[in-house]
Amino acid sequence: MTYPLGMSHMKKRTGIIPVAALMAATVAIGGCSKSPEASATLPAASAAVANVTDTDVTEHVKTALLQNESLKGFDIKVVTLKGDVRLIGVLDNQAQIDEAIKIARASDGAHSIHDELTIRK
């Protein structure tokens, strides 16, 4: 059989390439237990409660943020996925950001806190 230029050697290795690709994928997935963003997360203070849903966590965090005097009036978006809480918004100073993170960290079911809060310029 005649193969296009450069194809003859590939035909001989078809059994090796899928195995090598599978091994590389396994190493890549297994070797990287954290996403690049995970290094920027802050661990939650308490262990997650098994029966707390993401919706519950989001509501707990939002309610606590709204009840805090120094954070009232700020639009802080709270998104929870599998216990990972993402805080998004613009605040006036670092003390307010620290307070928001502290509140989120104390919420039942929060595994980690992703701080995407910024200071108003």
Q: Would you say 103 and 65 are in contact if contact means Cβ atoms under 8 Å apart?
A: yes
Mean pLDDT by 10 residues, the chain (121 residues): 52 49 48 42 51 92 95 94 96 96 94 95 89
Per-residue model confidence (pLDDT) at position 85: 97
Distance of CA 54 to the CA centre of its chain: 13
End-to-end CA distance of the chain: 69
Q: What is the pTM of this model?
A: 0.59
CA distance 13 to 60: 56
pLDDT given for residue 6 in this prediction: 53
Supply the pLDDT for residue 52: 85
